[in-house]
Amino acid sequence: MRLRVSLFLTLLISPFVRTSYAQPSKAPYPPSGAITDVSFDWSTHTSKAPGSDNWPTTWSDDGHLYAAWGDGGGFGGTNKRGRSSLGIARIEGDAETYRGFNVWGGHEPETQQKSKVIGKSYGLICVEGVLYMWVGLFRPNSTPFDEVRLAHSLDKGHTWKFCDWSFTRADRVMIPTFLNFGRDNAGARDQYVYSYLIRYQSEEGPDNYEDKVPWLQCQRPGLIDLARVPKTGVLDRSKWEFFCGSNTDGSPKWTSQLQERKPVFEDSNGVGWCISVSHNGRLRRYILASEHTETHRGNLGIHDAPEPWGPWSTCYYAKGWGDNQIPKNTFYWSFVNKWLSTDGTDFVMVFTGRKENDSWNTVHGKFHRPESR
């Protein structure tokens, strides 16, 4: 693994130019043998929906992407115009010519049901035509990360219904994400839907980024748990199970008791308060993207594994991702399976951040395989 990022440039004399970023903390896992490097083509960078951040995405059965944003007007909106705490958008088209449309919330949405939810999402998935969304709910004058609740939509995001159960701060669960496979979750490894749960540690810490939000910190030590539920019972709390270790043959053990869970991913440098995980079917790897060390600094770690529970390795781990291209204030990244190349090596990453990067952003890139070095 190289701890440097490559920039694709459309120059005949040298299509790849290596640019050093700030030296990272020590990566939590050994170098990947499947993905030896990750590079980005900044000439493809596109930014839309200024003022709206977050943007977890899923590939729906109708062929479109659906995404959730926070604190803005979505596509066609601004930080003030159409501002919603939480909104849903549909993204149509290919990676070069896509267009975004606000479905629920934001500027001129398609639905008449107004988005009055005060919260944020970093987990969205489509399974058998149903959209499911994890929402971290926020209440005025309350402590942060009090409650995470699951919602679902039967009409492609136009209306949402929340479950009557939730994970709470006392459960030490914050802002889960779904493991996304292909279109309508095609290619899933089994009949389960998987979610990764960031283990809540504290809203206090040494993070000292510009315009600091006091309670947004990398979680230290960084622990990520894994949950699963049969795809026919996603809304039923009694159906959920949690990873609790491995058998002697390496197969996972599961428990219905949340307090018995054990992490599948650990980073002593910390993990972000939002993460993404997707399966690259062509490479047969699970890809996890998270912050480390300090939030809102572009401190990006990309890790891969052969199974949802590991064992993990490191594809890329550095500070100041995007330096000399964009301000170093990004905090969330995800890979769009709809826009993967047929061999799984060329990707499109969606990312967001604060201030100048407080928007929907895409950039093309490449996973480098051992034989391509």
Whether 102 is covered by a domain: the verdict is yes
Summarised one tens digit per residue, pLDDT across range 42-65 is: 999 999 999 999 999 999 999 999
359-369: average pLDDT: 98
Whether 36 is covered by a domain: the verdict is no
CATH number of the domain that residue 89 is part of:
2.115.10
154-162: average pLDDT: 97
Cβ-count burial 9-45 (b if 16+ within 10 Å, e if not)? eeeeeeeeeeeebeebbebbbeebebbbbbbbbbeee
Whether 42 is covered by a domain: the verdict is no
70-77: average pLDDT: 97
pTM over 0.75: yes
Share of the chain above pLDDT 70, in %: 92
Lowest-pLDDT choice from 4-18, 323-337, 355-369: 4-18
Token couple for 31: 């170098």
Which of the 8 DSSP states describes residue 219?
B
Residue 12 in this model has a pLDDT that exceeds 60: no
Residue with the two structure tokens 């083509």: 41
Residue-range definition of the domain harbouring residue 221 = 47-360
Whether 22 is covered by a domain: the verdict is no
Q: What pLDDT was estimated at residue 210?
A: 80
Whether 35 is covered by a domain: the verdict is no
Q: What pLDDT was estimated at residue 3?
A: 43
Q: What pLDDT was estimated at residue 359?
A: 98
Whether 68 is covered by a domain: the verdict is yes
175-193: average pLDDT: 98
Q: What pLDDT was estimated at residue 372?
A: 54
Counted domains in the chain = 1
Whether 346 is covered by a domain: the verdict is yes
| Phi-psi sector, 232: left (phi>0), alpha (psi -120 to 50), beta | alpha
Whether 343 is covered by a domain: the verdict is yes
